Structure 1
Amino acid sequence: MHTNQFKVIALRDLARHVDPQQTPAEPLAVIEKRKREREAVLVEGEIVDARTGQPLSGRIYVHKADDTWHFPKTTFGRGSAVRYERRNWINTNVVEMHTTLSAHPFRVELLPGRYTFTVEHGKEFFPETREVVVERELPRLAFRLRRWVNLAEGGWFSGDTHVHRDPDELPNVMLAEDVNVALPMVDWTTASTIAPSVSDRSLPGSFGSAPVPADATHVWYPRNTEYEIFRTGPTNHTLGALLILNHKTRFEQPALPLSGVARQARAEGALLDLEKHNWPWSLALVPLLKIDLFELANNHHWETEYAIKNWAVPAPAWMGLSGSGTETERDWTLYGLQTYYALLNCGFRLLPSAGTANGVHPVPLGFSRVYVHLDGPFSYDAWMRGLAAGRSFVTTGPMIFAKVEDEWAGARFTAKDANYRLSCTVLSEQPLEAIELIVNGAVRPRFDPENRPTAAGSFETVISTEFKPTESSWLAWRCFEKRAGGRFRFAHTAPWHFDVPGKPIRPRRVEVEWLAAHVKEEMERSRGIAPAELIEDYRTAQAIYEEIAKTSR
Structure 2
Amino acid sequence: MCCDPPTTALLPPQVGAMLEEYLTLHAERPREWGGEFDEVGRGQAFARWLGPHLVFSAGDWPSTVRAALPDPLPTGLIVATLTPMGVRLRTGPWPYALPGGQFEVGVLVDSRLAEPATVDIDGTEVQVAAGGVELATRAGQGPWRLSVGTASTSAGEHVPAARLWLRAGAPSRWSVVDDRGVAWFPDGALRKWDADGTPMFHGDDLELDVPAVPLTVTCGRGMEFETALATIIPDPGATVPVALDPRRLHDPAARGWYGGDLHVHMNYSGDLVVAPQHAAEMQLGEGLHLMHLVAGNIGSTRVYDREAFEATVGTDLPWSTDRRVARFGVEYRNDLLGHVHGLGLTGVPTHYSTGHAASDHPDDWPANANACAELRELGATVSYTHPVFSPLSDGTPAEVFGFPRSVEARELVADAALGLVDSVDLLGPNDAEGTTLLYHHLLSTGLRLAATAGTDVWLSFSSGPLISNPPGWARVYADLRGAPLSVAAFQEAIRAGRTLATTGPWLDLTVDGRGPGDVIAADPATAVPVSVACTGLGVESLQLVGPDGVLAESDGSAIETGVDAAASTWLAAVARGPAHPSVPGAAVFAHTSPVHIEVHGRPVRRAASARWLLDWLDRFETLVREHGRFAGDAQRDDVLDVITRARPYYESQLG
TM-score, length of structure 1 as denominator length: 0.73
Please point out which of 445, 448, 463 is paired with 2:559. 463
Partner of 2:646: 544
Partner of 1:46: 166
Contact 1:96–1:362 (Cα < 8 Å) also in 2: no
Contact 2:423–2:449 (Cα < 8 Å) also in 1: yes
Contact 1:356–1:367 (Cα < 8 Å) also in 2: yes
Cα deviation for residue 135 of structure 1 reads 4.0
Contact 1:395–1:492 (Cα < 8 Å) also in 2: yes
Cα deviation for residue 127 of structure 1 reads 0.5
CA distance in 2, matches of 1:254, 1:368: 25
Superimposed CA distance per residue, residues 360-390 of structure 1 (whole angstroms, 9 cap, x where no aligned partner): 5121111100111122242202222112211
Contact 2:194–2:200 (Cα < 8 Å) also in 1: no
SS in 2 for 1:170: helix
Please point out which of 422, 434, 438 is paired with 1:339. 438
Partner of 1:141: 242
CA distance in 2, matches of 1:367, 1:443: 27
> Quick one: structure 1 residues 533 and 172, their matched pair in 2 at CA, closer, same or farther if it must change by over 3 Å?
same
CA distance in 1, matches of 2:287, 2:211: 32
Matches within 5 A, 1:179-328: 179-185=288-294, 187-190=295-298, 194=301, 199=303, 202-204=306-308, 206-212=311-317, 213-222=319-328, 224-230=329-335, 238-253=336-351, 255=353, 256-258=365-367, 259-278=369-388, 279=406, 282-288=409-415, 290-300=420-430
Partner of 2:536: 428
Superimposed CA distance per residue, residues 173-198 of structure 1 (whole angstroms, 9 cap, x where no aligned partner): 2211111111111x313459x5xxx7
Partner of 1:405: 512
CA distance in 2, matches of 1:151, 1:378: 14
Contact 1:63–1:116 (Cα < 8 Å) also in 2: yes
> Quick one: structure 1 residues 511 and 134, their matched pair in 2 at CA, closer, same or farther if it must change by over 3 Å?
farther
CA distance in 2, matches of 1:199, 1:108: 36
Superimposed CA distance per residue, residues 162-216 of structure 1 (whole angstroms, 9 cap, x where no aligned partner): 111243333322211111111111x313459x5xxx7356344721412234332
Cα deviation for residue 110 of structure 1 reads 1.8
> Quick one: structure 1 residues 244 and 483, their matched pair in 2 at CA, closer, same or farther if it must change by over 3 Å?
closer
SS in 1 for 2:432: helix
Cα deviation for residue 422 of structure 1 reads 1.2
CA distance in 1, matches of 2:620, 2:296: 25
Please point out which of 518, 530, 544 is paired with 1:437. 544
Cα deviation for residue 477 of structure 1 reads 0.4
Cα deviation for residue 441 of structure 1 reads 5.5
Please point out which of 166, 170, 174 is paired with 1:56. 170
Equivalent position amino acid for 2:453 in 1 = A
CA distance in 1, matches of 2:366, 2:578: 45
Partner of 1:121: 221
Contact 1:390–1:410 (Cα < 8 Å) also in 2: yes
Cα deviation for residue 521 of structure 1 reads 3.2
Partner of 1:107: 207
Partner of 1:522: 623
CA distance in 1, matches of 2:257, 2:603: 35
Cα deviation for residue 513 of structure 1 reads 4.3
Equivalent position amino acid for 2:428 in 1 = N
SS in 1 for 2:456: coil
Equivalent position amino acid for 2:306 in 1 = S
Partner of 2:183: 69
Percent of pairs identical after alignment? 20
Partner of 2:277: 168
Please point out which of 514, 521, 532 is paired with 1:414. 521
CA distance in 2, matches of 1:549, 1:217: 46
Superimposed CA distance per residue, residues 242-277 of structure 1 (whole angstroms, 9 cap, x where no aligned partner): 212211111133543135423322222211110111
Superimposed CA distance per residue, residues 425-450 of structure 1 (whole angstroms, 9 cap, x where no aligned partner): 111134x211101111511122231x
Please point out which of 446, 450, 453 is paired with 1:351. 450
> Quick one: structure 1 residues 527 and 297, their matched pair in 2 at CA, closer, same or farther if it must change by over 3 Å?
closer
> Quick one: structure 1 residues 86 and 357, their matched pair in 2 at CA, closer, same or farther if it must change by over 3 Å?
farther
Superimposed CA distance per residue, residues 72-126 of structure 1 (whole angstroms, 9 cap, x where no aligned partner): 35xxxxxxx74252587xxxxx54631011x3x2222122333322210122221
Q: Which runs of 5+ in 1 are unaligned?
A: 1-32, 49-54, 74-80, 89-93, 231-237, 301-331, 450-460
Contact 2:165–2:207 (Cα < 8 Å) also in 1: yes
Cα deviation for residue 519 of structure 1 reads 1.0
Matches within 5 A, 1:437-516: 437-440=544-547, 442-449=549-556, 461-484=557-580, 488-501=587-600, 504-508=604-608, 511-516=612-617
SS in 2 for 1:163: strand
For this pair of structures, how many residues does the alignment match? 444
Contact 2:501–2:592 (Cα < 8 Å) also in 1: yes
Partner of 1:364: 470
Equivalent position amino acid for 2:480 in 1 = L
CA distance in 1, matches of 2:432, 2:352: 31
For the aligned residue pairs, the C-alpha RMSD in angstroms reads: 3.1
CA distance in 2, matches of 1:239, 1:66: 47
Superimposed CA distance per residue, residues 284-323 of structure 1 (whole angstroms, 9 cap, x where no aligned partner): 23423621110111135xxxxxxxxxxxxxxxxxxxxxxx
> Quick one: structure 1 residues 363 and 412, their matched pair in 2 at CA, closer, same or farther if it must change by over 3 Å?
same
Equivalent position amino acid for 1:469 in 2 = A
Superimposed CA distance per residue, residues 13-62 of structure 1 (whole angstroms, 9 cap, x where no aligned partner): xxxxxxxxxxxxxxxxxxxx999x994423223333xxxxxx12100112
Equivalent position amino acid for 1:270 in 2 = A
Contact 2:545–2:574 (Cα < 8 Å) also in 1: yes
Contact 1:45–1:140 (Cα < 8 Å) also in 2: yes
> Quick one: structure 1 residues 446 and 535, their matched pair in 2 at CA, closer, same or farther if it must change by over 3 Å?
farther
TM-score, length of structure 2 as denominator length: 0.62
Partner of 2:11: none
Partner of 1:97: 199
Partner of 1:18: none
CA distance in 2, matches of 1:56, 1:503: 47
Cα deviation for residue 134 of structure 1 reads 4.2
Equivalent position amino acid for 1:491 in 2 = A
Contact 1:280–1:522 (Cα < 8 Å) also in 2: no
